[in-house]
Amino acid sequence: MELFWQIVYYAFTALYVYTALVVLTAILLENRNPVKTLAWIMIMILLPVVGIVLYVFVGQNFRRKKIINNKLRFPNLDVPVRYSDDLERFDKVANLLTETDGARVLDGNRVDVFTTGADAFKSLYNDIEAAKEHIHVEFYIIENDKLGNRFRELLERKAREGVRVRVIYDYLGGWKLPIAWRMSLKNAGAFVHPFLAADNFFRFTLLNYRNHRKLVVVDGRVAYTGGMNLAERYRWGNGLGLWRDTFVRVEGPAVYSMQYSFLVDWSFVDGRVVTDKKYYPEVPYFEDGEKVQVVTSGPDSDWRSIMHGVVAAISKAEKEILIHTPYYMPPEAVTNALVSAALSGVRVRVMIPERNDSKVVAAAGRSYIEALLRAGVEVYYYQHNFLHSKAIVVDGYLSIVGTANMDHRSYEQNFEIAAFVYGEKTARCLVEGFERDMESSRQLNVNLWRHRKWYKRYVESLARLISPLL
């Protein structure tokens, strides 16, 4: 008997050593940032077995493996597309986004900005009520609450009227949704799919890669995106108060790009490719409209397109940069760009919430602030409820509104979408909203910040170590 257990022990040891060597080899061959590579090697050494499990579930670089590689063929549509001097000095930003994501600059769009859930959902409900052909819905979180159920009931009614309703929700973000919620929609004639459902071992290893997009397209003529999820905290609040967020409504040729983004995701979750041109109907061209470039990023692409676009936009700033972000744990490239802009004389203002929905995330985020303050960046704590907005304005002309937070997860792991809007109208709306938010904010002082209590700094530094995983 003793011999048996010895054999088991040595067999297990040999298997573990072999697995560890395979994993370590894989880590080295990925040629990541040396700091990340060394961190994973240390985890493997210091945390036997646990290190392998962590790597399998959160450490693999699926960007290289193309877990979604079935990009659709964008229909050959007669839409106004041009790069011109009208983009001012941001033409290279637009070119970069075209090269990395295939995103096209589409002119003649009307963009409406919403900063409250009440206004955003009122407008969204009205557009859905008027739908005649189809409604495409994609959210990271759909809550089984008053708002989520009202939205479901509206979709069910439209589905019974003969409108084609397609719904995508993230499997992890929507894990609280009961089966009855989804079945109710399906019984009404709607089509509902979770994104990357953990229904087998391979998909379970992909739980770290989430679909964080928020996107609604109605009849191919109007579309919405931004930071809001389908949850009543945007209308009635929660323990953090009423959530402050940014959502945009788009009419015009840019809706084609937003529709395309949805249908790519739909082909992945449904298995059927949808390329019918009826989903790209004729849309109005607004002569006084703005240019919009819809950009997606995620593990399905070779490039971190949204992050590259943000860095490029910051580098082009000459006067002012305004940033809303609920979580500030950015890759080094973003921090360096902001620091360089501030040191060169650009006024940089970053607003983050003082109260956060995650203590660990908040602690990690605080560790990044000192570098900004020392460079002259103005950092503000939003004190009125919770700031969930993801918006950037550069020089009162280029606006970036979407779903991506300024952190590692959004830029490197999540599926995200953002609208790059070239024009003064949208920028002016966002600047005005930022100025109003400053009335409910306090500015951080670099000297006081550097001399905060040592144990707080210690906790923040520890949290920073795991920030890429948060």
Backbone angles phi, psi at 312, to 5 degrees: -65, -40
Closest residue by Cα to residue 192 from 149, 138, 228: 138
pLDDT at position 176 is 82
d(CA 329, CA 332): 9
Q: What is the DSSP annotation of 392-428?
A: EEETTTEEEEES--EEHIIIIISBEEEEEEESHHHHH
What stretches of 137-178 show up as alpha helix (H) in DSSP?
146-160
Report CA torsion sign: 236, 239, 241, 244: negative
**Locate tokens 């490039």: which residue?**
303
Residue 204: half-sphere exposure toward Cβ, Cα within 13 Å: 5
Task: Evaluate whether 165 touches 139 at the Cβ level (below 8 Å).
Answer: no
pLDDT at position 3 is 67
**How confident is the model over 178-195, as a mean pLDDT?**
94
For residue 82, pLDDT over 50 is answered with no
Task: Evaluate whether 168 touches 265 at the Cβ level (below 8 Å).
Answer: yes
d(CA 89, CA 110): 22
Percent of the chain at pLDDT exceeding 90: 60
Q: Of all helices (H) and strands (E), which one includes residue 256? A: helix 254-270
d(CA 126, CA 190): 19
**How confident is the model over 420-433, as a mean pLDDT?**
97
**How confident is the model over 318-344, as a mean pLDDT?**
96
41 vs 297, higher pLDDT: 297
Structure-block tokens of residue 62: 């699926």
**Locate tokens 């930071």: which residue?**
227
Lowest mean pLDDT across 36-40, 101-105, 294-298, 349-353: 36-40
pLDDT at position 55 is 62
**How confident is the model over 245-257, as a mean pLDDT?**
96
Residue 365's pLDDT band, with cuts at 50, 70 and 90, is confident
pLDDT at position 83 is 44
d(CA 260, CA 36): 35
Which of helix, strand or coil describes residue 28? helix
Structure-block tokens of residue 422: 């070239």
Q: Tell me whether residue 381 is exposed, middle or buried, using C-beta atoms within 10 angstroms of its C-beta: 0 to 12, 13 to 18, 19 or more.
A: middle
pLDDT at position 372 is 95
Strand partners, 382: 353, 441
Closest residue by Cα to residue 234 from 113, 148, 110: 148
Angle at 353 between CA 348 and CA 429, to 5 degrees: 55
Neighbours of 202 (CB within 10 A): 9
Structure-block tokens of residue 224: 């919405």
d(CA 354, CA 441): 9
Residue 304's pLDDT band, with cuts at 50, 70 and 90, is very high
Task: Evaluate whether 420 touches 295 at the Cβ level (below 8 Å).
Answer: yes
Angle at 218 between CA 113 and CA 211, to 5 degrees: 75
Backbone angles phi, psi at 198, to 5 degrees: -85, 65
All residues at 6 or more sequence positions from 344 whose CB lies less than 8 Å from its CB, including other chains:
none
d(CA 153, CA 431): 36
Angle at 207 between CA 358 and CA 406, to 5 degrees: 45
328 vs 464, higher pLDDT: 328
All residues at 6 or more sequence positions from 278 whose CB lies less than 8 Å from its CB, including other chains:
133, 220
Lowest mean pLDDT across 56-70, 101-115, 188-202: 56-70
Query: Which active-site residues does the annotation give?
Result: 212, 214, 219, 388, 390, 395
d(CA 189, CA 144): 20
The length of the chain in residues reads 470
pLDDT at position 78 is 57
148, 181, 249, 446 from 165: Cα distances, Å = 16, 15, 19, 51
